[in-house]
Every structure is written in structure tokens, then in C-alpha cells.
Structure 1
Amino acid sequence: MRAHLYRLLYSLVWWLIIPLAVGRLWWRGRREPGYRQHIPERLGFYPKRDNAFGQPKRSLLWVHAVSVGETRAAEPLINLLLADYPQHTILLTHMTATGRATGQALFGASPRIVQSFLPYDTGWMVGRFLRHFAPSLCVLMETEVWPNLIAQCVRYQVPVALVNARLSERSLRRGKKFETLMTQAAQGISCVGAQTKEDAHRLQQLGASNVTVTGNLKFDVAPSDDMVRMGLTMRQQIGARPVLLCASTREGEEALVLTALGRQNGSPSVENLLLIIVPRHPQRFDEVADLIAANKLPVMRRSTLGGGPLDLKVKVLLGDSMGEMFAYYGASDIAFIGGSLMPLGGQNLIEACAVGKPVLIGAHTFNFAAVTEQAIAAGAALRVTDAGAMLDIAIQLLSADQEREIMGRHASDFAQLHRGATIRTVALLALLM
């Protein structure tokens, strides 16, 4: 009874903030037009199906990947599900416009992939979603535990699996503040495939049962042939200059890196260095371009690079493109992973390791704590204290070919060692089919 009351209050809050949420979509759509598209889907309204997908209604397997990282992590899982269940169609849902665009880029050519935005977490909207699509299975990626979504899945007898699941100590503490609500949601999940033993233990503390450690799906993500070719082409355009990539940087971090670079200005060690900066969020591309210009550094945008060689005067290449991270890794010598210089939790370093690049990462990695520590222990990554230390260590590695190559091999070996989560996850899902 108490849990039901909490969920009613939770739903009431959602109904009160929906006008603000829709207004925020429209506001964000100024820079990212995708947020102004398909808004009815977010409210639970969909065009009549009429069996448009050529499949019986209960043949849909639903995978929810909220944004870019989760969508890319889901790629090997979705590919294996398509292969193992040829009679099924995959319904791939998202919450962000960039996540949907990533899904379109990865699977747009497949007639067995249907994309949609997930509605806001009210019982009425989620209920309309479930009645419309009638999926036979719900697969949630990583951390997407929504109380009404899970309650409605239980109501409509749709088994729920949480896969590639992770839960930091910080998120566990936050979840326990709403323990009654979150415990009920966790108990509605049929099975959990956790990334690590630590994640599994924390998820059990939150109330999840039937928890299995399946590993991290991101280790099974590999660059496509197109990305490999694109990386080689980009490297040829850059030439023999040493290249430091700052990947998935967040607000405030670019300024720290550029300031550290400015302190080294005139030093022979950075005279030929090319810095590639790829901001995490596309709406910040223009902001970061202005910041680079304000630091009086010659900059070129990836979108205007064309097919010719990069001018040697260019000091910073701004990665203002989506879906090309593997190409940026391929074109670089060393990769710094953003979100870690400031207390933002860090970003995924697995893709850099998969391409065999030495990794530098800051002090703040609580969202990816286990995999970061494992990479450091394997000799694939080094922890840095701040932007200045990051640049100093990068310069040292760029002038030490043997040390850099050894670290790159350790990175590649580390990525190879942890593969196999996709097969284990599909075996777990098979129990619910």
C-alpha cells in the first residue's frame, strides 16, 4: 500500500513537470532539431500500426537505450538477437535525440529495426506504449530503472531484463533516498545482467533479484570497416605530427586543457602537437570552437576538413561530428577520456582500448570505477591529477615510442580479455523468451 502511494505521488510529479519537459525539448531543439521531432511519441501517441512491420504483434523484442553510449553498447546485443531470433523485430527506444540518431546510423538500413522515443514515465503513457507495440520482452540498458515503466510491464505481463547493468555507490545512496519506490521497481525486474560483481551486489542491495554477472557489452563493440578506413584517412591528412585526442570532453574541461596547452606555448615538445577535441554533446560544438579561438589557437573543424591535408598551422582539430569516435581514436596516438577532470563521473575508456590506444584519465571516474581501475591495473591506462599533468604525461609518452607501443598493446589485450558479454547476455535473455 505504501509503495502504491509513493508511485502515485511520483506520477503526480511527472504530470506536473511534463509541460516544462516539453518546453525544454523545444528549447533544446534550437540547436538540436531532433528534439522537436516525434514529440507525440514522448507523450504516448503513435500512428496506427496496421501490422506495419510485417510481424505478429507479440514478435517485438524491445531494447531501451537512453542515449549514445547505451545505443552503441547495445549494437552487438541487437545484432546477435537479430541473428538468433529471425522471426522477431527489434523495437529500439531512446530518450535523447543523439541516441536516436546513433541508432539510425547503426541500424537504419535494417528492415527489422523500429525506432521510437520512450514516453515519459507516467502509467497512462507507458500503458499506451505497451498496448500499441505489445512487445514480448523489455530489455533495459545499464541504469534505466523507471518505476511506472516496470509496473506497467508487470501489469501487461512483459518480462523485464536489465542488462549491462551498473550502479555506482553514489547512485545507490541516491536510490536509497527513495527506497520504497525503487525497491518495488527493482523487484519487478525478471533478471539482471550486471557488469561486475560490485554492480551486482549494489543492485541486490536496491532490491533486485536473479542477478548474474555477465560482463560489459561495450567490450564487444568493434570498429566497423568504414570507421577503420576513416581513421586511416584522417591520419594521412594529419601527417606525421603527434596527435593527442581529448575524447568526450564535458563543459569546463576544454578550458582546462587549452589553458594547460597555453602554458606550454613555445616549447619544442608541443610545437608540432595536434590536439583533437571531441565534445561529448553536439550542442556544445560552437561553444568549444569559440573557446579555442579565444585562446588564439588555429582551429579546423572536422566538418570542414574535406579531403586534403591538414594545414600544419592548425593546432586544434575540433571533432564536430557524430558517430565517428572510432575514427578519431584510429587517427590519434594517445587518448584522454573526458568527464574525468571535473566531478562528472568520467566516460567509457573501452573503445580507446579496443583500438589499442594508450589511455589517460582524470581523477573523477565514479560512473566507470571498476573498468577504469581494471584498465590501470592492466597497464592500459594512467590516472592523471589535472589537465597540466595530463598534457605533461602525454608529451612524455609521445616522445617515448617503445613505452607508448607497449601501453597500446596492453590496452588491446585488456579489451580482448573481457569480451564475451554479448553471448552471456543473450543466454540470460533466452530464459525469458
Structure 2
Amino acid sequence: MRTFYSALWYLLLPFLFLRLWLRGRKAPAYRQRWAQRMAWGYRPGTLKNSLWVHAVSVGETLAAAPLIERLLADHPDTPLLVTTTTPTGSERVKALFGDRVSHVYCPWEVPGALNRFMKAFDPQLVVVLETELWPNLCAAVKRHGAKLMLMNGRLSEKSYRGYGKLPRLVRPMMAQFDALAVQTAVEAERYVALGAWPERVHAIGSVKFDMTLDAALRDSSAALRAQMGERRVWIAASTHPGEDEPVLAAHQQVLGSHPDTLLVLVPRHPERFNDVAAQIRGKGLSLARRSADESPAEVQVYLADTMGELLMLFGTADVAFVGGSLVPVGGHNLLEPAAWEKPVLTGPHLHNFTAISQLLDDAGGLSVVNNERELATTLLALFDDAERCRRQGQAAAAVVEANRGALEKGLGLISEQLTVNS
């Protein structure tokens, strides 16, 4: 089965390069570093006995940041390799860690590329984040003699059903994991059903609960909020195509009752920044762009068209809406605004964050809205009831505090694998 799977990847290579070229029309970084996609040009032995952490894009990189910092501190003599698959993820790695880690793109699922990669970076342990389940990558890791671990693993019901349709490909892959640190007991059962060894699966919670809001971050957020003036502020974060329109329409409804309200709008992907700016102007709303260092003081919409600042931006708002949820993307990280004690709003599409959204909902820290009308109504209700706003924000923050600890448990499992492999 994996032979057929590999052959399909080789056949798709021209189309994958074409896709990069097309995406590069709006995001030029997609037209760069193509050799890394195939692990061409690396010298064997570039690293020796490394620890490899693989994320995908910005979200996984930020979730892994506390883990990577601890690995740097706890294993200072072990070379640390961090890979992503997107330019935005790459930018975050460089911004967060600089030359303290080695960083390249993870190669595609082509056996030859993966073999070249293993010879170059010589991992002793590979830690993949969340749902990075790739049969050829897993096989290459084990063929190299390295340990393989899943960290912060999640598996929605939809994904579980999809993997279950390919048992001859998925079951051998799952059996190759030496340890799986997953978020919930339900997900642990799904991984076991797909072929993971039961004794290797550990439901430890999500490392996303272990984020920290340090003094520098709080100071930056407070300084930006001071520039916004004494008025109501809400944020719509990580929006996708199909969400900016209802978000802006809801904001117009809010402005009808509270004309001094500011919306901080944060599109998920940088190639959409200019299009979203045009949408804002098309609605007749006044606009300031963060990338141009324009003041948010007198405008109706502040477009946060920069990367890596979302956690700081949540601190500026009174209420937070998290996107990827009014359209069937599956939602994004609800815990970042919760950690700031903000009431959290989301759309109904939450299959990537089922457990976390349930915890927040049960605690009274989450409001689910289905459309622009419900979004506007909920915003107005929170703006007009300061006590409700405070209470819902505190309930959200309490969920974050009550569920910390996954990071330490995951680090313990990593140490076990490194000890076994030494």
C-alpha cells in the first residue's frame, strides 16, 4: 500500500511545484527554497544526533514554542532542528528562536527526499505536532533508527473516520510511534483504534494551556491599547475567506449603537491582507494598517496585517472573536484570548477544538454565534453589561489555569525517549 502511496506522490510532484508557483503570486515566499521541499543540496552529517521538532505553520509553531524553549534549556548540548511547511511558520521560527535552532522546510512525502534529509540531519528523536501523520516520514524515521513521538496530538471525529478508511496504510504508520502524547482520552481511544500501541498512548492534555503572558508582552499590549483611546474594542482573529464580510457587517451594526467602537481585524493569511483592506474600504469604514504604523486612535477598523503579534493583540480587546469557525475550517486557538481573561466568541465550526471549546462552554467562558446578526447581538450584550463581560472573561481564564501541566508531562515523555535511545 505504501509503495502505491509513494508512487502517487512522485506523480504529483509537478503539480505540487505548480501549486507553489501559483501561491507565490500573492505570497512570493512560496517561490523560494524549493530545493528544501526535496531535501536537495544538503551535506550528509550537517547535524549529528539531533532532536527534530516538526510543526506545520504559525499555529503549531506558537503552540510548540514553550516546548522548544524548554528543550533548548534542558538539552543544551543536543542540536535542535525545527521544521515547518509554510513560509509563515518559517518566519515565526526565525523570529522566536533565531540561530538557537536549525530551521528548514520539512521535505515532501517522497522516500528519496526523506532519506536525504535523515542523512543530513541525523535525528535521534523526531517529535511531530498535533496531526502531522505522514506514512513515509514515519517509515524514514524508523529506518534511520530514531525514536518517533507525537506531541499535543489531536484527532477530530472527521479525521478519525478519514484515516480509518485506509487501514493498510495507517495501521503500520501508527504502530511505528514510540510515544503519543495526545490531548484527551477520547483521542487516545481513536489513536489506539487506528493501530497505535495502547501502552504508548498518553492522554496528557493540551500544551496550549501552558502559554505564558510575560511582562514584555503585557507591556506591548498595554501600550497599543493606550493608542486606541478610551473606547470599546473587539478583535476578530484568524479570519478566513467568507468571514470578513459577516465580521464587518456585525461591526457596522455595533457602530449603530456605539459609534466609537474599534474593530481589530486579523486575517489568518498574509496574502489576504490587501484584499481585506479593500473590503473594509468598500464598506465605507475608516481604516488604519498596523504594517504602515498608522494610528488606531480615530479609525473604525484597525487591520493587524503583521505576523506573530496575535497573542499581544488579544490583550488590547474587551471581547474576542476567533475565526476559522463561521466557515467549516474547524476553528483556531480559543485559549489565547481566554488567558487574557477575555470573553471568547466563536462560530459553530469547532471540530479542531472540540474538547477545548466544551471546557470553555461548560465554564461559561464561551459564546457560539452562527451568523453576523448573532455576532452583533452578543457583542452588544457584552458591551452593555460590564459585569457579564468580566464574569465570562474570568471563567475563560479559569479554564486555562485549571488545565495547565501538559507541557511538563510531555517533556517527561521526551526525556524517556532520549534516555532509551542513548
TM-score (norm 2): 0.95
Q: CA deviation at 1:263?
A: 4.6
Q: How does 1:56-71 map to 2 (within 5 A)?
A: 57-58=48-49, 60-71=50-61
Instruction: Return the match for 1:397 from 382, 389, 411.
Output: 382
Aligned residue pairs total: 416
Residue 99 of structure 1 corresponds to 89
The reply on whether 1:282 has 2:270 as its aligned counterpart is yes
The reply on whether 1:347 has 2:335 as its aligned counterpart is no
Q: Secondary structure at the match of 1:181?
A: helix
Deviation per residue, 1:331-366 (Å, 9 max, x gap): 100000101112221111011111111101111101
Gaps of at least 5 residues in structure 1 are 1-5
Q: CA deviation at 1:37?
A: 2.3
Inter-CA distance 378–276: structure 2 relative to 1 (3 Å threshold)? same
For residues 104 and 191 of structure 1, what CA distance do their matches in structure 2 show? Answer: 28
Q: CA deviation at 1:253?
A: 0.5
Instruction: Return the match for 1:310 from 283, 287, 296.
Output: 296
Question: Given that residues 296 and 302 in structure 2 are in contact (C-alpha distance below 8 angstroms), is that contact kept between their aligned partners in structure 1?
Answer: no
Q: CA deviation at 1:97?
A: 0.7
Question: Given that residues 36 and 107 in structure 2 are in contact (C-alpha distance below 8 angstroms), is that contact kept between their aligned partners in structure 1?
Answer: yes
Question: Which amino acid counterpart does residue 393 of structure 1 have in structure 2?
Answer: T
Question: Given that residues 156 and 351 in structure 2 are in contact (C-alpha distance below 8 angstroms), is that contact kept between their aligned partners in structure 1?
Answer: yes
Residue 23 of structure 1 corresponds to 18
Question: Which amino acid counterpart does residue 296 of structure 2 have in structure 1?
Answer: L
For residues 13 and 21 of structure 1, what CA distance do their matches in structure 2 show? Answer: 12
The reply on whether 1:151 has 2:146 as its aligned counterpart is no
The reply on whether 1:374 has 2:359 as its aligned counterpart is yes
Q: CA deviation at 1:90?
A: 0.9
Q: How does 1:118-267 map to 2 (within 5 A)?
A: 118-209=106-197, 210-263=200-253, 267=256
Question: Given that residues 44 and 119 in structure 1 are in contact (C-alpha distance below 8 angstroms), is that contact kept between their aligned partners in structure 2?
Answer: yes
Question: Given that residues 44 and 119 in structure 2 are in contact (C-alpha distance below 8 angstroms), is that contact kept between their aligned partners in structure 1?
Answer: no
Question: Given that residues 341 and 387 in structure 1 are in contact (C-alpha distance below 8 angstroms), is that contact kept between their aligned partners in structure 2?
Answer: no
For residues 50 and 264 of structure 1, what CA distance do their matches in structure 2 show? Answer: 59
Q: CA deviation at 1:49?
A: 6.1
Residue 329 of structure 1 corresponds to 314
Question: Given that residues 227 and 324 in structure 1 are in contact (C-alpha distance below 8 angstroms), is that contact kept between their aligned partners in structure 2?
Answer: no
Question: Given that residues 61 and 89 in structure 1 are in contact (C-alpha distance below 8 angstroms), is that contact kept between their aligned partners in structure 2?
Answer: yes
Percent identical across equivalent pairs?
38
Question: Which amino acid counterpart does residue 330 of structure 2 have in structure 1?
Answer: G
Deviation per residue, 1:312-341 (Å, 9 max, x gap): 2x1111110100011210110000010111
Deviation per residue, 1:351-406 (Å, 9 max, x gap): 11111111011111011111001011112211222221112111111121111112
For residues 24 and 238 of structure 1, what CA distance do their matches in structure 2 show? Answer: 40
The reply on whether 1:431 has 2:416 as its aligned counterpart is yes
Q: CA deviation at 1:304?
A: 2.1
Q: Secondary structure at the match of 2:324?
A: coil
The runs of at least 4 consecutive aligned structure 1 residues that moved more than 4 Å come to none
Question: Given that residues 325 and 348 in structure 2 are in contact (C-alpha distance below 8 angstroms), is that contact kept between their aligned partners in structure 1?
Answer: yes
Question: Which amino acid counterpart does residue 131 of structure 2 have in structure 1?
Answer: T
Residue 273 of structure 1 corresponds to 261
For residues 264 and 166 of structure 1, what CA distance do their matches in structure 2 show? Answer: 36
Question: Which amino acid counterpart does residue 78 of structure 1 have in structure 2?
Answer: I
Question: Given that residues 241 and 272 in structure 1 are in contact (C-alpha distance below 8 angstroms), is that contact kept between their aligned partners in structure 2?
Answer: yes
Q: Secondary structure at the match of 2:123?
A: coil
CA RMSD of aligned residues (A): 1.5
For residues 31 and 224 of structure 2, what CA distance do their matches in structure 1 show? Answer: 33
Question: Given that residues 177 and 196 in structure 2 are in contact (C-alpha distance below 8 angstroms), is that contact kept between their aligned partners in structure 1?
Answer: yes
Residue 3 of structure 1 corresponds to none
Q: Secondary structure at the match of 2:364?
A: coil
Question: Given that residues 254 and 261 in structure 2 are in contact (C-alpha distance below 8 angstroms), is that contact kept between their aligned partners in structure 1?
Answer: no
Question: Which range moved further: 19-28 or 255-264?
Answer: 255-264
Question: Which amino acid counterpart does residue 134 of structure 1 have in structure 2?
Answer: D
Q: CA deviation at 1:17?
A: 1.0
Q: CA deviation at 1:264?
A: 5.2
Residue 383 of structure 1 corresponds to 368
For residues 89 and 379 of structure 1, what CA distance do their matches in structure 2 show? Answer: 44
